[in-house]
Amino acid sequence: MAKTEQRKLVAFVLRRCTSRTGKSALARRGLSGSFILSTLLIVLSGLCAQTPGITNKPTLYYIPHTHWEGAVFKTREDYLEMGLPHILKALQLLKAYPDYKFTLDQVAYFKPFLERYPEEAAAFHEFVAQGRLEIVGGMDVMPDVVKPGGELFVRQMQYGQRYCREQFGHEATVAWLLDTFGHHPQMPQLLRQAGFESFWFCRGVPHDKLPSEFRWRGIDGTEIPAFWLPGFYGLFYGPPRSLPEFTKFFQSRFDRLTPHAAAPERVGLAGVDVSEPEDYVPPLIAAFNRQPDAPFTIRTAVPSEFAGIVARRAHQPVVTNDFNPIFQGTYSSRIELKQATRRIERLLVTAEKLAALVAWLGTPSDEPRSNRREEAHSKIRNPKSEIRTNQSFLTSAATDDSMLWRAWEPVLFNQTHDLASGVMTDHVYEDTVRSYDFSQRLAEEMIDAGWERLAARIDTRGEGIPVAVFNPLGWERTDVAEVEIGFSEPGVLDIGLVDAAGKPAALQILRADRDAARGIRRARIFFAAYDVPALGYATYRVIPRHSAATGANEASEESRGIGFIENEYYRVAFDFANGAMTSLFDKPQQWEVLSGPANVVAREVDKGDLWELYRGLDGASHVAMTNRQAVPKPGAAQFSTDYQGTNGVVRHGSVFSEFSVAHPLANGTFATRVRLYPGVRRIDIQTELVSNEKYVRYLALFPTSIQDGRNVQEIPFGAIARPTGIEFPAQQWVDYSGGLRGVALLNFGLPGNLVADGTLMLSLMRSHNLGAYGFGGGYEPGMGSDTGFEIGKRLTFRYALVPHAGDWRAAEVYRAALEFNHPLLARKVAPHTGLLPGRWGLLEVSHDNVVLTALKPCPGNSTILRVYEAAGQATSAVKIKLRARVAAANESNLLEDSGPKLKVQTDTVQFDLHPFEIKTIKLRLDRQKKSG
């Protein structure tokens, strides 16, 4: 610690002791006079012992830390048992050495410490206030940022930063993503909007020549100071204990940093996976610095110190890279976890939207659950661990807010980079599935409650069974919906459907239970819902008919060698025996989309592990992978077209037409179903696989007739062009266009995507275990991971095709992908009077490229609305018109702090957007008084 810093610390402590507010603050944290006196003595002794003189030697900013794993080889609770003593050790060193500093990250790590060691909380807080213990990361865990969705990452930052603000009076300013497997170029904007001032990372750089300090510019133009760690996050950990060997160790590692450094200062981290702070190092650093021939000075520091040094440099290079891909095998290992993440994120943002709607409509949304239910949800138990879900730490007492955060937290925790990647041991996998189940149950319960409160305000009177269809997206849309109905009255032979205006609507019976007289007792129906308003609903009524069924609502079947299905947009033909899509004809463009059989599943031998494709793990991988993947070839792979079935069938109906087939594939089974709907520009595909083999992977192939096209993939809140022939983590869509026309491949929780030789390839699943992994970081002999082979599991995959004119912007592929991932919700409701009409929506957005991603209640009777510009085009005078009077509208950051006021005119908010800009708006809406 420099003299000036030590003097500042003395002055700080004296001020805190003598001021009235300081005394009370210290008392609240339990700081005694003896603690204050000891602190002063330590600092003063440091001042006396400080070596005089100033040198021009280079400086190494040495940052002790520990990388807590969260969960991967051991459970969350097991890693806390390992890791919490390390925080105690860090506090011990902070008390013993006035020059010592330490860095901690992950709320899921230090929050339990403060709860379980309240006697250490005062010292912990004081070291944070002094700047000697720096809290970095500002998130629940060190998350994966490329596979989970954008709103999930926003909640990750909200959760962590709000806790830091409540505990320490400020947010973390250092984004600490040291071990995260890749980083997309919308991160600078996301991090800046959540209060971060620097970004620290290890993996995903384009090459080994990159400077260690630069400014990372995102796709919207936002920049953030970035700190790449060429020697990884444990470069200076574990030095020898004798001074000569210690000096050699530090010299060699300092030299490794030199090619990447633009100035005399270097930064090096000392900490590895679940590592203990090194108590023998502080005296060796002091001895090193006393050497007259020491080649540089070692300064124990925290990350923000070095960031401050770099900020004063006159010039910093600017980098615009996508820091991907890293560990491509993780995109499809334990694929069911990626699908669960997508599903539960969708459920939770839908629950938030319904909560916001019912809060504005005036329906109570904070009805208390029973104590029994609260107790049932308070924790998840299993033989290996006990995961206690966090009670809301927010000042708001609203039950819905508390319930939402209780549901979010296990999902946030499961975005730990290892868990989200599926590279865990078997017992940790089971723990992860249980926590996902908990969040899903809670999300579904909140959706049910919100739906009931919304439906209670709708006028649903009329003949038959009322059905309300909710659209969770921010634009009016036409799509399909399904609902189950039942009749207690006998003699219902057929079913009709009418919309809110009484106009007949088409329906299709998926299945029906009938009595001996052919009367329908229960049925599941499928129907097309047209023009359902944005963040609103449309009502329908199911009419029982007592006349003989005409068959119009039943699907006809045909089975022969080649058949087809079609709607007004596409005509799709199939080989009935092997299931291949043999033709996809775009009617408006008169264009054959395919160049060969499509929706073919290839099975390849893959001798990798859960992390890597085709090879074993290199845990130090940090350069973005450029290994090219070719389209699988006969002889080197097996294909679903190598096998045949006898059950291929086409069904034609009034609401959908479909082709389906099932047959063997290698030592397992393959089944696929392809559907078209009238009025919907999308081809939906559902494929089921059962694999009984180890070390294989499965990909779905779609050879297109496009030559030399452009591969554009969605990232959170944006889209970027990526090279062909390399597998990348995409969000909900990939588009391959040749200028005049293109085709998009949408997915539900299937991030592994690539385009090679004009063929779209989607990674479905892999069959692997951990392979060879060195013992350490909690990994011990006897730990198994064989459930990663997925042997005998029936896994279902959902994806869709959207052929289109123009490029991805013209086709608004981002909207199609959201519609595919957020289906309409149809529920039966009771007939009753209500203030709301049979068709209603909350808002209208003026521009199609402005996409709404969040609507949620906010403490203080406000509503948070988030949009982003999705096409990479500057957009002026965006208007959002609401079915409410807007009392106030402020721009907000991602932490939902109010910022500048926005232009408001009665019921409309207006603003501008830069390309790919994310904008969060805090609204105060006058409550609904009557139907609108």
pLDDT in tens, 885-901: 999 999 999 999 999 99
Q: What's the rounded Cα separation, in Å, for the pair 525 and 523?
A: 6
DSSP state of 70: -
Residue 30: pLDDT band (50, 70, 90) is very low
Whether residue 83 has pLDDT greater than 60: yes
In this prediction, residue 56 carries a pLDDT of 79
Residue 865: pLDDT band (50, 70, 90) is very high
In this prediction, residue 385 carries a pLDDT of 37
In this prediction, residue 549 carries a pLDDT of 61
CATH number, domain containing residue 314: 3.20.110.10
Once rounded to an integer, what is the mean pLDDT over residues 130-137? 99
Once rounded to an integer, what is the mean pLDDT over residues 204-220? 98
CB atoms within 10 A of CB 874: 12
Q: CB–CB of 474/535 below 8 Å?
A: yes
Q: What's the rounded Cα separation, in Å, for the pair 450 and 542?
A: 23
Residue 775: pLDDT band (50, 70, 90) is low
CATH number, domain containing residue 584: 2.70.98.30
Does one domain contain both 19 and 82?
no
Does one domain contain both 288 and 390?
no
Final residue in a domain of this structure, among 455, 480, 502 = 455
Does one domain contain both 65 and 158?
yes
- Domain-located, residue 905: yes
CB atoms within 10 A of CB 781: 5
Helix-helix angle 335-361:150-168, to 10 degrees: 70
pLDDT, tens digit, 9 for 90 and up, residues 669-678: 999 999 999 9
Using alpha carbons, select from 79, 145, 111, 110 the residue that is nearest to residue 428. Answer: 79
512: exposed, middle or buried (C-beta count within 10 Å: 0-12, 13-18, 19+)? buried
Residue type, 211: P
Does one domain contain both 43 and 61?
no
CATH number, domain containing residue 438: 1.20.1270.50
- Domain-located, residue 787: no
Q: What's the rounded Cα separation, in Å, for the pair 576 and 582?
A: 10
Final residue in a domain of this structure, among 296, 319, 342 = 319
Q: CB–CB of 847/875 below 8 Å?
A: yes
Report pTM.
0.91
Show the tokens assigned to 145: 């940022």
Q: What's the rounded Cα separation, in Å, for the pair 742 and 572?
A: 17
CA dihedral over 610, 614, 617, 618, signed as positive or negative: negative
pLDDT, tens digit, 9 for 90 and up, residues 86-105: 999 999 999 999 999 999 99
Phi, psi dihedral angles at 585 (to 5 degrees): -105, 120
Once rounded to an integer, what is the mean pLDDT over residues 531-555? 86
In this prediction, residue 36 carries a pLDDT of 44
CB atoms within 10 A of CB 516: 5
Phi, psi dihedral angles at 610 (to 5 degrees): -65, -25
Whether residue 378 has pLDDT greater than 50: no
Q: What is the dihedral of CA 427, 74, 143, 342, to 10 degrees?
A: 10
Q: Where are the alpha helices (DSSP H) in 670-755?
A: none
CA gyration radius, the chain: 30
Does one domain contain both 615 and 694?
yes
Does one domain contain both 348 and 202?
no
Does one domain contain both 297 and 442?
no
- Domain-located, residue 932: no
In this prediction, residue 387 carries a pLDDT of 36
Residue 619: pLDDT band (50, 70, 90) is confident
Using alpha carbons, select from 480, 346, 347 the residue that is nearest to residue 800. Answer: 480
501: exposed, middle or buried (C-beta count within 10 Å: 0-12, 13-18, 19+)? exposed
Residue with more model confidence, 875 or 359: 875
Once rounded to an integer, what is the mean pLDDT over residues 768-791? 82
654: exposed, middle or buried (C-beta count within 10 Å: 0-12, 13-18, 19+)? middle
Q: What's the rounded Cα separation, in Å, for the pair 423 and 418?
A: 6
In this prediction, residue 400 carries a pLDDT of 72
pLDDT, tens digit, 9 for 90 and up, residues 570-599: 999 999 999 999 999 999 999 999 999 999
CA dihedral over 611, 614, 616, 621, signed as positive or negative: negative
What is the H or E stretch that residue 402 is in? helix 399-413
Once rounded to an integer, what is the mean pLDDT over residues 326-339? 98
- Domain-located, residue 644: yes
Does one domain contain both 476 and 580?
no
Does one domain contain both 312 and 409?
no
Does one domain contain both 16 and 73?
no
Range of the domain at 474: 465-554
Does one domain contain both 549 and 578?
no
How many domains in the chain? Answer: 6
pLDDT, tens digit, 9 for 90 and up, residues 422-449: 999 999 999 999 999 999 999 999 999 9
Final residue in a domain of this structure, among 319, 348, 379 = 319
Does one domain contain both 870 and 908?
yes
Residue type, 718: G
Helix-helix angle 33-49:3-18, to 10 degrees: 160
CATH number, domain containing residue 894: 2.60.40.1360
- Domain-located, residue 83: yes
Phi, psi dihedral angles at 519 (to 5 degrees): -75, 140
Whether residue 383 has pLDDT greater than 90: no
Q: What's the rounded Cα separation, in Å, for the pair 479 and 678?
A: 9
Once rounded to an integer, what is the mean pLDDT over residues 204-222? 98
Q: CB–CB of 891/921 below 8 Å?
A: yes
> Which residues contact residue 489 at a Cβ distance below 8 angstroms, ignoring those fewer than 6 apart?
544
pLDDT, tens digit, 9 for 90 and up, residues 597-616: 999 999 999 999 999 999 99
